[in-house]
Structure 1
């Protein structure tokens, strides 16, 4: 599933043709994706100006002049194509070829900017929903999401408070969208390696323990290193256009290139890139997902 950098790359690719433009035509070419479309889905979109295009975790949010918000999720295989009279592009592909069968073109927006925006989703795990802006905080799909990892409020102190007393593994805590929103398997593996922390480490070790008459919960050096690594790896991935594995492609049609910068993810059996380490990247299954790490330098 595309993670935060891939979704942010798609947002940036769609922004020039969506933001400030009117949706002249909206088409839902089937009754559902992962979930059924609302009965008034098309009616609430058609004729509306997109006043802003944002992102929350792995969701795209298009603000409409009506006061509604179009919430969009790529799912496992969803992608957007931007079709203009002079060219066609696709924001935000993972290295397996993307299906180009137009029978999977399930949603179309014809914009006053002169572009047609087509959402293609062979597996139909993506979804779209129109929500009133004043009801967004109560939306079940968004309620309970943790802080944005690139937002101002996300720092070592916040992460320590969220992990204080947690007996779960550090990797499991970082994948919990209530702890931090938008991180997935790839970037958690990469951030843990860059901060030299084991994915098996207990999450509670990011916070200091309280002693007699003294409160704990302060961020440890582990928490500070980890937050710095999360910031670095996400910003680097966004600059590279995301990671092209399976289904991610930029709206320009180009692949993301961050997979060439992976330190551990999908590099089982290779030498660890940490200077002076000499270890080997290993893979094991953790909470049903592949975890890649160097057990020599990640403690």
Structure 2
């Protein structure tokens, strides 16, 4: 699933070419991916709107349109938004095509069809069931060691599970949580409330560090992810534990282990993360 660095990279790559363009029409190949409004109303409302800018909130990509509308996109597992020329072959599992005034197209493809799009008024972002409940952005000034300590205090929830709670830290997902925990030397099953002050500070620093590195590397491509121009990320070349089961830990040399927590794989070093 695209996480904060991937969605940030998509927003930046699309920001280089989309703002100022008018959406002439939308072709819906699979209405399942449109969450709200209905596909007919969606196409009618989007047609003729100018793209004003792109941003990110948590794992949501937000496209501001003229007329005070926002197109919110959650890519889930395999969603991709790619700006391309009209002559490019249509990728398999393409579900939406936005036809732009300069002849180019913005295409939404999604192999597993879990991703969703919403057309919203700006004032409704705070009441959207996903966006409105998001916690602090981990790269914002509000994400401090004190905030993280308060979020962990009194919580016996497994540390990894708490970090994946979007109501606590917006945008952090499986890949970067594993990588941050390894850098901080913390086991994913550790009860959140047992961290010392020093461990909280180490975790806070590791989260911000790994996210910044992920953005600088334009995201992690392990299967489907590409940016808005169809280019893969490179952070997979720098992963220390994620999907490296059985390989030596870069810090201590012990084999990376895997466990399943909440239905998701978690990777860690039994030597460094006791």
Mark the runs of 5 or more structure 1 residues left unpaired by the alignment.
90-98, 209-219
Question: What is residue 122 of structure 1 aligned with on the other side?
Answer: 111
Aligned to 1:141: 130
2:141 aligned with 1:152: yes
2:94 aligned with 1:105? yes
Q: Which moved more, 1:221-230 or 1:252-261?
A: 252-261
Aligned: 1:199 with 2:188: yes
Aligned residue number for residue 266 of structure 2: 291
1:207-262 Cα deviation digits (max 9, x unpaired)? x6xxxxxxxxxxx1111111111111111111112111121112333221111101
Equivalences, count: 273
Q: 1:199 to 1:25 in 2, by over 3 A?
A: same
Counterpart contact for 2:36–2:42, Cα < 8 Å: no
Tell me the equivalent position of 1:65. Answer: 66
Aligned to 2:41: 40
Secondary structure at 2:17 match in 1: helix
Q: How does 1:171-186 map to 2 (within 5 A)?
A: 171-186=160-175
Question: Any unmatched runs of 5+ in structure 2?
Answer: none
TM-score, normalised via structure 1 length: 0.85
Post-superposition offset of 1:134: 1.3
**Displacement after TM superposition at 1:20 (Å):** 2.3
Matched-pair contact (CA < 8 Å) for 2:245–2:267: yes
- State the SS of the aligned residue for 1:18: coil
The equivalent residue for 1:25 is 25
Q: Secondary structure at the match of 1:151?
A: coil
Structure 2 residue matching 1:297: 3-state secondary structure? coil
* SS of equivalent residue, structure 2 residue 16: helix
**Aligned mates of 1:138, 1:131 — CA distance in 2:** 10
Tell me how far 1:289 sits from its aligned partner.
1.4
Greater C-alpha Rg: 1
SS of the residue aligned with 1:40?
helix
- Aligned position for 1:15: 15
* SS in structure 2 at match of 1:100: coil
Per-residue CA deviations over 1:118-177 (Å, capped at 9, x if unaligned) read 111222111111111012111112121111111121111111111110001110110111
CA distance in 2, matches of 1:187, 1:152: 19
Q: Which of 152, 155, 163 is the equivalent residue of 2:152?
A: 163
Q: Distance in 2 between matches of 1:198 and 1:291?
A: 10
Alpha-carbon distance in structure 1 between the residues aligned to 2:65 and 2:34: 23
Report the more deviating stretch, 109-118 or 231-240: 109-118
The answer to whether 1:269 aligns with 2:246 is yes
Contact preservation (8 Å) 1:33, 1:127: yes
Give TM-score, length-normalised by structure 2. Answer: 0.93
Partners of 1:76 and 1:283 lie apart in 2 by 20
Distance in structure 1 (CA, Å) of the matches to 2:46 and 2:155: 43
1:88-127, Cα deviation, whole Å (9 max, x unpaired): 69xxxxxxxxx932xx221111223542111112221111
Determine the C-alpha separation between the residues in 2 that align with 1:252 and 1:88.
Answer: 12
For residues 30 and 239 of structure 2, the distance between their equivalents in structure 1, rounded to whole angstroms, comes to 38
Taking only aligned residues, the RMSD between alpha carbons, in angstroms, comes to 2.0
